[in-house]
């Protein structure tokens, strides 16, 4: 009887430990939790003053991570759920988690992901500003278009720095995988004294 009882205890402990492994390891709803998770995974010792942390609107379980630089934030890492990775490896998982399987939402999701995740450290431009008029560069509003192969092409302008602007084209395949991110056009406006 004792052997059987011990065997049942071991099975019960195994079930408990397996269930414990499926629980979230970190509370990523707080900046402190994000820093703790990031430091544990990357084996670094950074503080909240070293990292830029962005939780894009409309995307559950997605946290974008950047490094504080002299000219702002830079970086291409994110958490999707409890997994830390780079944009190119976790974009499909993040989009799927947030509704990519609904084909009617893909263009909207692709544009929102581009603005809120991939280009989180830049300011997306919705309309032409004085810099475009001064430079003579034509402005086009943000757009996401589905191609015949099911891929989505996003094009938008962003302000990268106070006087520097860039137009990006971002391509997602039909599975939500990030295929490419290309600068199509860019310019700098020099102010005159």
- Sorting pLDDT into bands at 50, 70 and 90, what band is 162? confident
Tokens of 126: 């919705």
Give the chain's length.
193
The pLDDT of residue 3 is: 53
Q: Please, what is the average pLDDT of the chain?
A: 88
Q: E strands of the chain, at which residues?
A: 51-54, 62-69, 72-80, 83-86, 123-124, 143-146, 152-161, 164-172, 178-188
Tell me the pTM: 0.84
The pLDDT of residue 190 is: 82
Give the other-Cβ count within 10 Å of 139's Cβ. 15
- Whole-angstrom Cα distance, residue 76 to residue 193? 36
- Look at residue 145 and give its three-state secondary structure: strand
Angle among Cα 114, 118, 123 to the nearest 5 degrees reads 75
Range name among 99-103, 151-155, 159-163, 174-178 with the lowest pLDDT average: 159-163
Model confidence over 57-95: pLDDT tens digits? 999 999 999 999 987 899 999 999 999 999 999 999 999
> What does the pLDDT average to over 148-155?
98
Instruction: Give Cα separations from 65 to 53, 138, 172, 189 (angstroms).
Output: 5, 32, 21, 29
Tokens of 84: 């830390």
- Look at residue 175 and give its three-state secondary structure: coil
Q: Does residue 22 have a pLDDT over 80?
A: no
- Whole-angstrom Cα distance, residue 12 to residue 18? 10
- Sorting pLDDT into bands at 50, 70 and 90, what band is 18? very low
Whether 189 contacts 163, CB under 8 Å: yes
Q: Does residue 103 have a pLDDT over 80?
A: yes
The pLDDT of residue 75 is: 92
Which residues, in sequence order, are CB contacts of 173 under 8 Å at separation 6+? 150, 151, 179
């Amino acid at each position: 009887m004792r052997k059987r009882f011990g065997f049942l205890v071991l099975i019960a402990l195994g079930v408990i430990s397996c269930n414990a492994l499926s629980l979230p390891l970190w509370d990523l709803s707080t900046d402190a939790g994000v820093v703790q998770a990031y430091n544990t995974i990357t084996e670094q010792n950074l503080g909240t003053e070293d990292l830029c942390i962005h939780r894009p609107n409309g995307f559950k379980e997605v946290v974008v991570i950047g490094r504080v630089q002299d000219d702002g934030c830079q970086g291409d890492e994110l958490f999707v759920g409890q997994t830390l990775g780079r944009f190119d490896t976790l974009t499909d998982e993040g989009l799927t988690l947030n509704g990519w399987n609904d084909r009617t939402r893909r263009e909207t999701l692709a544009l929102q992901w581009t603005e809120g995740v991939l280009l989180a450290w830049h300011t997306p431009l919705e309309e032409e500003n004085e810099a475009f008029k001064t430079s003579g560069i034509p402005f086009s509003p943000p757009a996401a278009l589905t191609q015949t192969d099911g891929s989505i092409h996003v094009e938008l302008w962003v302000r990268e720095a106070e006087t520097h602007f860039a137009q990006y084209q971002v391509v997602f395949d039909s599975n939500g995988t990030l295929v490419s991110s290309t600068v199509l056009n860019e310019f700098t406006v020099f102010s005159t004294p």
